[in-house]
A and B are shown apart, each in its own frame.
Chain A
């Protein structure tokens, strides 16, 4: 009887230690993706998101380490739970991954990739490159460089 009680007390801690990662919370990510004029995802549950940031492109899965990043012009790919993926082009913005696995992707301008036109993008890129030669003012130069970077990213994304 004493031995049985002793065994029982020993067994319970062992059960507690046997908890595995599958039981860990935040297996779902709450994904919010919006621009000032449009909402693409609101607290949705998705599998993975690839974002282009100033420090490089990386993918965010549920239970990602919390971080703050600033976006650069590029393509955001959202992998839904059912396996399909959608691509969006973002101009700039910020991404926040919180400790409870919620992700807020706020883009200044974001459009689905198939609403962009390759020939117009190429024309914009050439125009920006030619403007870069002629401009001298610091602020104007920065604007042209930004427009060039964005156009290059669009062209690369569409090709």
Chain B
């Protein structure tokens, strides 16, 4: 008999523990999710404004960038296969919450490094953006040449690109060829990680098609190459920022949608719990059983 009453005494307690949330818990959770939804909505608005500005300035930058690379395409300059020193410029930014922007650039760089190291070449990386540094320094720390911070807060200018190029040229790393990995903007909802080639002075000077270009001395070619390097970096920066802002816009949009869904579900649970509490109190009052 004792055993039976003690068993009966245990059961209600288990039932109470399983009743997951009191009204207070649900209210707290609801309030915090509503705040998060406000934040993600405002981040989406900000990203949308920055995106429209970035896209407007991307149009002339694209013409400028394709003009800069026209020489390399028309003269079909190809880097010789046996050169050893490579350079990869990865363009990203400092801020997160933008979907797969940073990780896609980092993945492309890692696979490129694996391929080149497997072929015995020496590779160095220039990181534009703190997030990229964070993703790469643990596994490929010894390949990193330059890190750039404070990227992504303001729209990139030609001056930023020239600062990066100056640092790269001053670093003393004589690369033979390289590529710049960036996110090419395709549309509001899509971007693609792309790589454009960079050539060194020697490669361009000794390329066979350069013979048709008249009256070029070494000084002019060196100036031209440095200017072209800045142009390509500028082009990569512009495309990257536009892709980043559009990705952030979509990410924050889906975050807001998820938050609204959670709010709806929690509101239903809240109402059900509220009705359950009221019903329980009524039953207690009606049946005259007081909780001691």
Interfacial residues, chain A to chain B (CB-CB below 8 A):
32, 34-39, 42, 54-55, 65-70, 92-94, 96, 98-100, 102, 104, 106, 108
Q: Is B92 an interface residue (CB 8 A)?
A: no
- Report the minimal beta-carbon distance from B258 to chain A, rounded to whole angstroms: 38
**CB–CB B224/A94 < 8 A:** yes
**CB–CB B215/A67 < 8 A:** yes
* 23 examples of A-B residue contacts, CB within 8 angstroms: A32-B70, A37-B57, A37-B60, A37-B61, A39-B64, A54-B220, A67-B213, A67-B214, A67-B215, A67-B216, A68-B71, A68-B216, A70-B227, A92-B227, A93-B227, A94-B223, A96-B67, A99-B212, A104-B68, A104-B70, A106-B227, A108-B158, A108-B227
Could you say which residues of chain B place their CB within 8 Å of the CB of A65?
A: 214-215
- Residues in B218-241 with C-beta less than 8 Å from chain A: 220-221, 223-224, 227-228, 231, 234
**Which partner residue on chain B sits nearest A67 by CB separation?**
B214
**Which partner residue on chain B sits nearest A38 by CB separation?**
B60
Among A42, A93, A108, the residue within 8 A (CB) of B63 is A42
**Which partner residue on chain A sits nearest B71 by CB separation?**
A96
**CB–CB B213/A35 < 8 A:** no
**6 nearest CB pairs, A to B:** A104-B67, A36-B158, A70-B223, A65-B214, A39-B60, A34-B64
Q: Is B266 an interface residue (CB 8 A)?
A: no
- Report the minimal beta-carbon distance from A149 to chain B, rounded to whole angstroms: 15
Interfacial residues, chain B to chain A (CB-CB below 8 A):
57, 59-61, 63-64, 67-68, 70-71, 74-75, 157-158, 212-216, 220-221, 223-224, 227-228, 231, 234
Could you say which residues of chain A place their CB within 8 Å of the CB of B70?
A: 32, 96, 98, 102, 104
**CB–CB A102/B220 < 8 A:** no
**Which partner residue on chain B sits nearest A99 by CB separation?**
B212
**CB–CB A36/B227 < 8 A:** no
Among A35, A102, A106, the residue within 8 A (CB) of B74 is A102
Alpha-carbon distance between A106 and B161 when the two chains are bound, in angstroms: 15
**CB–CB A36/B234 < 8 A:** yes
Which of A55, A92, A96 gathers the greatest number of chain B CB atoms within 10 Å? A96
